[in-house]
Chains A and B, each alone.
Chain A
Amino acid sequence: MDSKKENIQDQQRLGQLKNLVMLATADERFTDSELAVLLAVASRENITPEEFNDVIENPDSVSITLPEDEETKLAYLRDMVAMMMVDGELDEHELAICKLYAMALGYRGSIVDGMIAGVIDSLDAEASPC
């Protein structure tokens, strides 16, 4: 893989972490469950502890680079929806950010509504007795 492509992928994965950090703090609360999502994504994206700390401490140093392949786009959007829902509340600003992110990726904003409904359905199915 050439260094230019690697650089773009680095920007994408650090940008995604930045997105999630900002989304988690959009409602001015930062919960343990939100931290857990951050750590899970950092692990999946092979983000080092140093990179993690850099993004947390200085998010402005990271620019957001949108992914182009469908698989990564959907994975990143799912991360955003998970981060929005994990504290158990649907904050309107967080929802607006998720929809904006979906649209910037080239999807309709309503894809986020579908993802939320999907998560709620799954939770309902797990909670209901067999």
Chain B
Amino acid sequence: MKKLGFLLLAFFLCFPFVGSAQNVETEDFDSLVAKFNAECPITSGENWALTSFATAGDTVLIELQVPASLGGFMSLLTADTDNVKRLWVRELNSFGEQWKTFVTRLIEADRPVRLYFTPKGGDTAAEIVLRPSDFKNQ
């Protein structure tokens, strides 16, 4: 009985620490995203415009609007090839120095980036997930 009590005590002592550590990290990351949004308004890349930037759980969500003429090429935009992933990492890097600082944090926190593509005048059609390793390889 004493052993069970000790185990329960140990569990309740340890668990809140684990939980609060995760919360602190999420809050830090969310505030980093908010700071990035506030200080680095992103309008457009060469052929796409950023329409939203947020976090959901562990993932960073980025929604990009593409011209309607690219809409039919969603499978090319989201092809799971290293070259296409490099293209998107390069596009995101064009957001500037603040983004690069953000990426460092992204890699440290091991967060994936989920890019959603919406053709102008259409619904979300496709997505691609970039892992921290995709940013490390650049």
Contacts and interface: CB of A to CB of B under 8 A. Distances in A.
Contact of B70 (A27, A97, A105): A97
Contact of A93 (B47, B77, B81, B82): B47
A104 interface: yes
Interface stretch (A31-39, A40-48, A106-114, A119-127): A106-114
A22 interface: yes
Interface stretch (A1-9, A58-66, A82-90): A58-66
B72 A100 contact: no
A101 B76 CA distance: 6
B92 to A, nearest CB: 15
Contact residue range for chain B?
A: 10 to 19
B47 A22 contact: no
Interface in B34-76: 46-47, 67, 69-70, 72-73, 75-76
A107 B87 CA distance: 11
Contacts of B7: none
B79 interface: yes
B47 A96 contact: yes
